[in-house]
Structure 1
Amino acid sequence: MNREETTQLISQTGIVPKKSKGQNFLTDERVAQRHVDFADISKDDRVLEVGPGLGILTKILIEKADDVTCIELDDILADYIEDTYSDRVKLIRGDAMKVDFPPFDRFVSNLPYSISTPVIFKLLDHDFKKAVVMVQKEFAERMVADVGTDDYSRLTVNLYYRADCRILETVPASRFKPKPKVDSALVEITPRESPFKVKDERTFFKVTEVAFNHRRKKIGTSLKSAKMIPNDADIPYLDERIERLTPEQIGELSDRVFEYMHP
Structure 2
Amino acid sequence: MTGTRSPDRLLERAGVRGNPDRDQHFLVDERVLDRVPTYLPEDADRSHVLEIGGGTGALTDRLLATSERVTVIERDPELAAFLREEFAPEIESGQLTVVNDDALECDLPADVTASVSNLPYGVSSELAFRLLPLGIPTVLMFQKEFAERMAAESGTSEYGRLSVSAQHYAAVEVVEPVPPTAFSPPPAVDSAIVRTTPRDPDYEVEDEAFFLRFVKAVFTQRRKTVRNGIRNTAHISGLDDPDAVVDAAPESLLSKRAGDLAPDDFAALASLAMEHGLEDENG
1:221 aligns to 2:231 (yes or no): yes
CA distance in 1, matches of 2:122, 2:216: 19
TM superposition shift of 1:211: 2.2
1:111 aligns to 2:119 (yes or no): yes
2:93 maps to which residue? none
1:79 maps to which residue? 81
Are the equivalent residues in 2 in contact too, given 1:51–1:111 (CA < 8 A)?
Answer: yes
1:143-222 equivalences in 2 (<5 Å): 143-217=150-224, 218-222=228-232
Q: Which amino acid aligns with 2:23?
A: G
Deviations 1:55-75 (A, max 9, x none): 111111112223100000111
Deviations 1:80-134 (A, max 9, x none): 1111113422011111100111021111001121111011111112132x21111
Deviations 1:216-257 (A, max 9, x none): 453223432334141532242456432231111110110011
Alignment CA distance shift 1:204-1:165 (3 Å): same
CA distance in 2, matches of 1:231, 1:204: 15
Alignment CA distance shift 1:242-1:20 (3 Å): farther
Runs of 4+ in 1 over 6 A off after TM superposition: none
Q: Which amino acid aligns with 1:225?
A: H
Aligned residue-pair number: 259
TM superposition shift of 1:151: 1.8
Alignment CA distance shift 1:7-1:62 (3 Å): closer
CA distance in 1, matches of 2:271, 2:242: 17
Are the equivalent residues in 2 in contact too, given 1:219–1:239 (CA < 8 A)?
Answer: no
1:93 maps to which residue? 100
Give 5+ residue unaligned stretches, structure 1: none
CA distance in 2, matches of 1:176, 1:240: 42
1:137 aligns to 2:144 (yes or no): yes
TM superposition shift of 1:210: 2.1
Where 2:51 maps in the other structure, the secondary structure is: strand
Scaled by the length of structure 1, what TM-score is found? 0.89
Where 2:273 maps in the other structure, the secondary structure is: helix
164-173 or 217-226: bigger deviation? 217-226
Are the equivalent residues in 2 in contact too, given 1:43–1:64 (CA < 8 A)?
Answer: no
Where 2:216 maps in the other structure, the secondary structure is: helix
Q: Which amino acid aligns with 1:63?
A: A
Are the equivalent residues in 1 in contact too, given 2:50–2:70 (CA < 8 A)?
Answer: yes
Identical-residue share of aligned pairs (%) = 34
- How big is the alpha-carbon RMSD for the aligned residues of Structure 1 and Structure 2? 2.3
CA distance in 2, matches of 1:26, 1:209: 33
Scaled by the length of structure 2, what TM-score is found? 0.83
